[in-house]
A and B are shown apart, each in its own frame.
Chain A
């Protein structure tokens, strides 16, 4: 069965721009979580969606937002990009409280 699909794989943006990342979960998985991974901070939780509702949110500024569609696909948006937003953004899907399956990630570089 298909895994978690994230697009695009790589992005280069300039400071001040905005970006939208996409995640398609495993078929049947209704929970989608987003994480930011950097060498210094590890995996930092951004938010979690279930059936189009944000159930949980991490400690990120309001520039980071997301949404989930009725088909469980999710998007994450970052506005007014800063250099510090350069990171690997990972999406994960899950069934209930089982462990997560991660996508390959989107590597964002802000210049």
Chain B
């Protein structure tokens, strides 16, 4: 079974703080990793992709990957109320994208 695990939350942070979202995966053959954001009542949208070990930064978002530990994380700096959403972690291997259950993030003004 190819599992992707996330803390369901909810995670609550004050505006301007750093939000840290974590994810582990079981399929060691996973080649690509993604973070999606899903607002309530909407479909998921891709916000970050990462393919190799280390950090990848895009604006206020930083994705981190550690394949040895089978661990992926997403940091959101200077969190804004508009970042309040469910964040889905996904692992891709051989035409198969598996998603975690998502972590609900609330950013309080």
By size class, the interface of chain B is: 20 to 34
The reply on A86 being an interface residue by CB < 8 A is: no
Interface string of A28-48 (1 = CB under 8 A from B): 000101010000011101001
The reply to whether A103 and B49 contact each other, CB–CB distance below 8 Å, is no
- Contacts A42-B100, A42-B101 given; does A48 touch B95 at CB 8 Å: yes
- Contacts between chains A and B (CB distance < 8 A), count: 49
Assess the B98–A99 pair: CB atoms within 8 A. Answer: no
Q: Is the CB of A102 within 8 A of B101?
A: no
The 8 closest A-B pairs by CB, nearest first: A42-B101, A99-B46, A43-B99, A102-B43, A55-B95, A99-B34, A56-B95, A56-B96
CB proximity of A80 to chain B, nearest CB, Å: 26
Partner-A contacts on B (CB < 8 A): 31-32, 34, 36, 42-46, 49, 88, 90, 92, 94-102
Contact among B94, B97, B100, B102 for A100, CB-based, below 8 A: B97
Once the chains bind, are B43 and A105 in contact (CB under 8 Å)? yes
| Partner among B32, B94, B99 whose Cβ is within 8 Å of the Cβ of A42 | B99
Contact: A48 with B96, CB < 8 Å? yes
- 6 new A-B pairs (CB below 8 Å) besides A42-B102, A45-B98? A42-B99, A99-B32, A99-B49, A100-B34, A102-B43, A102-B44
Q: How large is the interface on A (under 10, 10 to 19, 20 to 34, 35 or more residues)?
A: 20 to 34
- Whether the Cβ atoms of A102 and B97 lie closer than 8 Å is no
Distance, CA A33 to CA B96, complexed state (A): 9
Chain B, Cβ-Cβ closest to A43: B99
Find the B residue at minimum CB distance from A97: B32
Looking at the complex, which one of A41, A98, A103 makes contact with B43 (CB distance below 8 Å)? A103
Cα–Cα distance between A48 and B95 once the two chains are bound (Å): 7
Binary CB contact string for chain A from 42 to 80 against chain B (1 if under 8 A, 0 otherwise): 110100101000011000000000000000000000000
Decide yes or no whether A109 CB sits under 8 A from chain B: no
Contact in complex: A104, B43 (CB < 8 Å) = yes
Once A42-B100, A90-B43 are accepted as A-B contacts, the answer to whether A98 and B95 lie under 8 Å apart by CB is no
